[in-house]
Amino acid sequence: MNTQASEAASEIVKWLQTTGLDYGCRIIAAVVILAIGAVAIRIAAKAFEKLLEKTRLGEKSLVAKFLVSVAVKVAWAFLIVIVLGKLGVDVGPIIAGLGVTGFILGFAFQESLGSLAAGLMIAVNKPFKVGDFVSVAGLDGSITALDMMAVTLATPDNRKITIPNKQAWGAPIINFSALDKRRVDLAVSIAYGADITLAKKTALEALAAVPGVLADPAPMAEVKSLDDSAVALTVRAWSKTADYWNVYFTGIQRVKESFDRVGVAIPFPQLDVRVVKAWE
């Protein structure tokens, strides 16, 4: 038993003398390189971010954040390869394997890569920003979050919807908040026996009294069509974007109340039926 213990101790001492000291130095060097590299990456990332802020890319925060993130990940990949090489690991097969793996992952995650590419297009073109009310991929809501992979909406009835950037960029985008003014269209119908001139005058006066209606462009009221049961009017006004819904709802109410006051009738749908009796 003592002989086995002595042989084991002798082997350990021999390993320390021949290999252990060198391996220990390699570990210490790898740890030092890793620590220095981590600090250097952090400093370089901040410097790169400040550099981007001074360029036009700084105005496109998503692009800037994406570029910084990619640069940091690439730097860490190089640092890890250097550390592994310092530990005596053959990094050649690892590098070659990364190339093959990247090719395979490219096929596996092509949908995600498509959303990433679309995210870059959104970041560069900036069709909307956080807080805008938009229609994206056929869905309406306020933008609550943006990143390189998806757009997050909050709907008017307080539902959260996440839309992949590939779908958001691949469909028409309507931004209701982008411009400072919006046109408010009110659909109004009057009876065929009503005075059209009086109805138009009354509608315009009612709109002029609605808070938020702009004087320029001026409100307008015109005959849109002659429908089966009524004369259809198009009544339009302009408002600031933030006042749109207040003008819309208040405008409809004021026009209806004004029509009632002056006697302009808004008819119910009606159908004339003619009965012809066949005499024998």
Task: For residue 192, give the CATH number of its domain.
Answer: 3.30.70.100
Cα–chain center distance at 109: 21
How far is residue 247's CA from residue 183's CA, in Å, rounded to a whole number? 10
> What is the tens place of the pLDDT at every residue in 106-145?
444 445 566 677 777 887 788 888 899 999 988 999 999 8
> What is the tens place of the pLDDT at every residue in 233-265?
999 999 999 999 999 999 999 999 999 999 999
Please tell me the predicted confidence (pLDDT) of residue 104: 44
Please tell me the predicted confidence (pLDDT) of residue 181: 94
Please tell me the predicted confidence (pLDDT) of residue 109: 45
Provide the token pair at 36: 């220095």
User: For residue 230, which of 194, 202, 257 has the smallest C-alpha distance?
Assistant: 194
Would the pLDDT of 98 be above 60?
Answer: no
Let me know if residue 141 belongs to a domain.
yes
Q: Are 136 and 101 in the same domain? A: no
With contact defined as beta carbons under 8 Å apart, do 129 and 114 qualify? Answer: no
Q: Are 135 and 82 in the same domain? A: no
Q: Are 72 and 28 in the same domain? A: yes
Stretch 82-111: mean pLDDT: 58
Q: Are 17 and 94 in the same domain? A: yes
How far is residue 13's CA from residue 32's CA, in Å, rounded to a whole number? 26
Let me know if residue 185 belongs to a domain.
yes
How far is residue 223's CA from residue 209's CA, in Å, rounded to a whole number? 21
Please tell me the predicted confidence (pLDDT) of residue 56: 59
Stretch among 23-27, 49-53, 79-83, 274-278 having the lowest mean pLDDT:
274-278
Number of domains in the chain: 3
Q: Are 16 and 99 in the same domain? A: yes
Let me know if residue 83 belongs to a domain.
yes
Q: Are 204 and 246 in the same domain? A: yes
Q: Are 78 and 145 in the same domain? A: no
Would the pLDDT of 207 be above 80?
Answer: yes
Domain encompassing residue 229: 181-262
User: For residue 123, which of 44, 67, 75, 178 has the smallest C-alpha distance?
Assistant: 67
Q: Are 145 and 195 in the same domain? A: no
Let me know if residue 277 belongs to a domain.
no
Stretch 43-57: mean pLDDT: 73
Let me know if residue 268 belongs to a domain.
no
Let me know if residue 52 belongs to a domain.
yes
Stated pTM of the model: 0.57
Let me know if residue 71 belongs to a domain.
yes
More confident residue, 34 or 129: 129
Q: Are 34 and 66 in the same domain? A: yes
How far is residue 17's CA from residue 257's CA, in Å, rounded to a whole number? 101
Let me know if residue 30 belongs to a domain.
yes
CATH of residue 81's domain is 1.10.287
Q: Are 196 and 254 in the same domain? A: yes
Which helix (H) or strand (E) segment holds residue 153: the answer is strand 150-154
Stretch 2-23: mean pLDDT: 59
Q: Are 77 and 20 in the same domain? A: yes
Q: Are 59 and 8 in the same domain? A: yes
Stretch among 101-110, 112-121, 154-163, 202-211 having the lowest mean pLDDT:
101-110
Query: Given its phi and psi angles, is residue 139 left (phi above 0), alpha (psi -120 to 50 degrees) or beta?
Result: beta
Please tell me the predicted confidence (pLDDT) of residue 106: 47
Given pLDDT bands bounded at 50, 70 and 90, which one contains residue 213?
Answer: very high
How far is residue 153's CA from residue 163's CA, in Å, rounded to a whole number? 8
CATH of residue 155's domain is 2.30.30.60
Stretch 213-242: mean pLDDT: 92
Question: Could you tell me what percent of the chain has a pLDDT over 90?
Answer: 35
With contact defined as beta carbons under 8 Å apart, do 30 and 88 qualify? Answer: no
